[in-house]
Amino acid sequence: MTKALIPVFFLSIALLTSCGNAGKETNNTQDSTQSAGGETKETSTNTSAQILAQKWQESAEDMMPKADSAKYTKFELEQLKEDYNNSFFEFKADGSYTITRPDEDPGNGQWTLSKDGKVLTLKPSVGDTSAKALAVEELTAKKVKLKYEDGAMLVLIPAKSE
């Protein structure tokens, strides 16, 4: 049985070595980021701003650490969870945002993300219109973790389709 496999093994090695470029260097004359027509192709990776530009909801699980949940009754915990699950942050590609929370009027304004993606600035259009800078601790397609200047955390996950 093993004697029958020896020729197959040598044949496989011979085929693999003959498929190589025999040490010749190849010159790539076309830019891989451009198509033959010359226009630039979109990359598959999204920028931080593109990731952020969607509808998010507060994450009840991440916003309420288990240590904090001991401070509340079961009813209060359910109410908090419902409030978090019904709180939405929608960041639009045009730089506008809307925050919708239960029992509150929607908040609107403009958002900007620093070039390094580490600071999200929210500038409300009504009420206290001073800009608020939030430190971006995590920004992925599945989660956004923001930290307010006072240390409070805001954790967002993609909103469930209605």
pLDDT at residue 124, rounded to an integer: 95
- Domain spans of the chain, in order of start: 48-158
List the alpha helices (DSSP H) in 59-155: 60-63, 66-69, 74-85
pLDDT at residue 161, rounded to an integer: 72
Two tokens, residue 94: 């045009």
Higher pLDDT, 77 or 27: 77
The letter for the amino acid at 92 is: K
pLDDT at residue 35, rounded to an integer: 40
CB atoms under 10 Å from CB of 100, counted, come to: 16
pLDDT at residue 32, rounded to an integer: 43
Does the structure show a pLDDT above 70 at 111? yes
The sign of the CA dihedral 43, 44, 47, 51 is positive
Q: What is the mean pLDDT of the chain?
A: 78
pLDDT at residue 162, rounded to an integer: 59
The structure's pTM equals: 0.66
The secondary structure of residue 71, as a DSSP letter, is: T
Q: Are 98 and 82 in contact (CB under 8 A)?
A: no
Taking only the tens place, the pLDDT of each residue in 30-88 is 444 444 444 333 333 469 999 999 999 999 888 877 767 778 888 988 888 899 889 99
Tell me the CATH architecture of domain 48-158.
Beta Barrel (2.40)
Kindly indicate the confidence band of residue 24, based on its pLDDT and cuts at 50, 70 and 90: low
Percent of the chain residues topping a pLDDT of 70: 70
User: What does the alpha-carbon distance between residue 153 and residue 135 come to, in Å, rounded to a whole number?
Assistant: 9
